[in-house]
Amino acid sequence: MRKRYLAPLVLSVLFFAACGGGEKKAENADSVSTHESPAADNSMVSPSADKPVSKGEKLMAESDCKTCHKEEMKVVGPALKDIAGKYADTPENEEKLADKIIKGGSGNWGEVAMLPHPQISKDDAKEMVKYILSIGKK
C-alpha cells in the first residue's frame, strides 16, 4: 500500500525539481532586458533606402492606393509606371488625374472602376499625381 503512494510522490518531487529555479529565470529575464542592444549593422542596406521620400509617395503609402496599384505591375488598376508613361507631366494632366483620384471612375484603363477618395484633399491628390508622374522619369 505504501508503494502505491510512493510513486506519485517521487514523480511529483522530480517534476517540481525539474521546474525549479523560477526565481533565477525571472532574474535572468530582468538582466537581459536591461542590457543595451548592439547598434544595427546597416552595411548591407542599399543607398536608395536613404533617399528622401516625397510628400506624394508618403501620402500614397498612408492611403489604400497600393491595394490596387503597384509601381511595376498591374494588379486591379494599372501599374504606376504605366500611368506615368501614358500621361505627360503637365499641369492639365495633374489636375485631371487629381480629380480622378478624388471622384473615381472607369473607362480609361478598362471596365474596373476606381473607387472615389473624397477624403483626400485636392492638394494632396496633386502631390500623389506628381509622385506617380515622376516614376516615369526614374
Going by the annotation, the residues of the binding site for heme c are 65, 69, 114
Binding residues: 65, 69, 114
CA distance 62 to 6: 66
Neighbours of 128 (CB within 10 A): 25
Query: Which ranges in the chain belong to alpha helices (H)?
Result: 2-19, 22-34, 55-62, 65-68, 80-86, 91-103, 122-135
Residue type, 121: S
Here the cell at position 63 is 492611403
